Structure 1
């Protein structure tokens, strides 16, 4: 079974449990904090993925870091994951939980790549247009890619709009090649 499938099943289980208890937004916030800690500390990730380190040691490390800092339900979930031998994919499960949360809440992630950082006003305007177009709340991130020369590339889900100068030059180059010029 693929990591994605396993992560998705555990994430859905946590989401359903949290929805039953009515703490969805609070747990989502806690999960984001845990993701930030795990991403910023590769040593913790290495310990969780190491098959030589015992489950008890992994559990005690997670409890030492997160107990009384995140929702008790999240801590209990960690304990279950460790006992099932799934500590190695904890980060994948938590990231999938956020994706599932966004789906339940009707939130769409979008990324705009631009040659230079976009102003807050431009990002807000673009976010509003995307939100209107997709009919959902949009979380828009701006990433700088100087190879675009100018313009932008917008990714919303599995769709992409290339309005960059580099993209237009590539299309022009393909046209000339196809015409034998």
Structure 2
């Protein structure tokens, strides 16, 4: 007679009740950890008093009063921005600024989400960009994180363009 036939219905249920949770625990243990949002404090430490260098210019995240200044030269068309940057405990960093060029001004808000798994940080443009590695656990040369530099390479350019545009009016 098989083991299952020898066990009564209650004994079989008891055995299955002990085996199934162990299997579920093993599956849970092998599951990849869920990404968690960076905190506002973590985001502040990443961006404060840094310049995010772009191919066409950059944006400066000033720690004091969370001011944001940017300058771009896109094919000879220069623009500058002034505003604020904000972070939250949902892993979001936003740059809210008024952009100005020789054609006028426009307000813009650009946000990026940040999540981490272990020591690797992922980023995406909100609301629907693709996630990519912002900073590997062991930082790599091509990590976007490396484009955040201490040097202020944009404020003087933005101020100069602001003065030029003010005198043109």
Which structure features the higher share of helix residues? 1
TM-score (structure 2 length as normaliser): 0.19
Which structure features the higher share of strand residues? 2
